[in-house]
Amino acid sequence: MRAAVVHGPGDVRIDTRPDPVPGPGEVLVAMEWGGICGSDVAYWRHGASGTAVLEHPLVLGHEVAGRVAALGPGVTGVEPGQPVTVHPAEPVGDTTLPARIAGRTNLLPRVRYFGSAAFHPHTDGGFSELRAVRADQLRPLPDGVSTRQGALAEPLAVALHAVHRAGDVTGRTVLVNGAGPIGCLVAAAAKHRGAATVIAADLAPSALAIARRLGADQVVDLAAGDALPGDVELVFEASGAPGALGGALRATARGGTLVQVGNLPGEPATAVLGDLVTREITWIGSYRFVDEITDAVRALGEGLDVSPLITHTFDLDQAGEALAVAAGRDSSKVLLRLGGS
């Protein structure tokens, strides 16, 4: 089989690897679509994503969907040809979480994730023609949801988890600062969950146009000098830029909530944080998701259309070009066609 493999900074290759064979409790998936995430770009650009450093070649990709190709011993409940997406997280060991965070499996201290160099050996991702997957990681796609749409379930799950962290958004006004792929999906998720008004802010008019198509009622063009609104009860900071934190905190109403869904740097950075104290803002972190990918698949089946997020598609053998486009400013979600028709 062919796979998109990063060997080091700036070095991604289409390697030929042996076809995997599903073991007990596993399913072989013929991959059809994969979405490029910021972590994929980071491994390609820098040979690292956060604290995870590339030590040997790694198959990229954790936003994937395809069709069941074969069942390993003992697997029931799925059928060959069935379209599926994948929950890319696999807990390591049998760690029991403290009662205060029971069930929040995204906070387990050791989790293997598709396309991650956090462990040695690394965990290969799904940017390959075939991938053996634990059966409990599969999420069948409902009728009417294509595998192309299914590849967006994982980032939609990240957005739904962030909205879940905020509590009930029904009837509330929401500001999303940063209209990259996750920010746009947060806007869509908030609207899907009943938010009355969703405002999206960004420096790029093209990103704001996508946010509007995904449900934003209002947009703020920061590059044009437009100011963030004030006194917003619920704010999602999705840019991950430390320099944006001061403005996001100032936009948050006194006693309001700021959900940090954009990844912040792992090294010291300058940020203006005074309003966190003087306005008594609740600042909440949001990391990956628990099982919101099941909610994401359900939402797609209910008709939530997040396809406007997709701006570019490439074939697998164009992975290098696809990564370069995904790293640029003129794209939102870039998809790889991994197989299928």
Q: What is the CA radius of gyration of the chain?
A: 20
Q: Which of 33, 49, 45 is nearest to 126 (CA)?
A: 33
Nearest-angstrom CA–CA distance, 109 and 238: 24
DSSP-derived 3-state class of residue 215:
coil
List, as one string, the DSSP characters of 94-146: -PPPPGGGTT-GGG-S-EEETTB-SSSS-B--S-BSEEEEEGGGEEEPPTT--
Task: Show Cβ contacts of residue 182 under 8 Å, excluding neighbours closer than 6 positions.
Answer: 155, 158, 159, 162, 238, 261, 262
Q: Which domains does the chain have, with CATH numbers?
A: 2-152+306-337 (3.90.180.10), 156-285 (3.40.50.720)
Q: pTM, whole model, 2 decimals?
A: 0.97
For residue 121, whether the previous peptide bond is cis, meaning omega lies within 30 degrees of 0, is yes
Tokens for 332?
């939102």
Q: Which of 236, 231, 297 is nearest to 261 (CA)?
A: 236
Element (H, E) at 201: strand 197-202
Which stretch of DSSP H or E encloses residue 48? strand 48-49
C-alpha 30/C-alpha 86 separation (Å) is: 12
Give the per-residue pLDDT at 88: 98
Q: What is the DSSP letter of 222?
A: G
pLDDT at 266: 84
Dist CA 49 CA 56 (whole Å) = 14
**Are 64 and 114 spatial neighbours (Cβ–Cβ below 8 Å)?**
yes
Q: 162 has which bridge partners?
A: none
| Tens-digit pLDDT string for the chain (341 aa) | 999 999 999 999 999 999 999 999 999 999 999 999 999 999 999 999 989 999 999 999 999 999 999 999 999 999 999 999 999 999 998 889 999 999 999 999 999 999 999 999 999 999 999 999 999 999 999 999 999 999 999 999 999 999 999 999 999 999 999 999 999 999 999 999 999 999 999 999 999 999 999 999 999 999 999 999 999 999 999 999 999 999 999 999 999 999 999 999 888 999 999 999 999 999 999 999 999 999 999 999 999 999 999 999 999 999 999 999 999 999 999 999 999 86
Tokens representing 224 are 């044009």
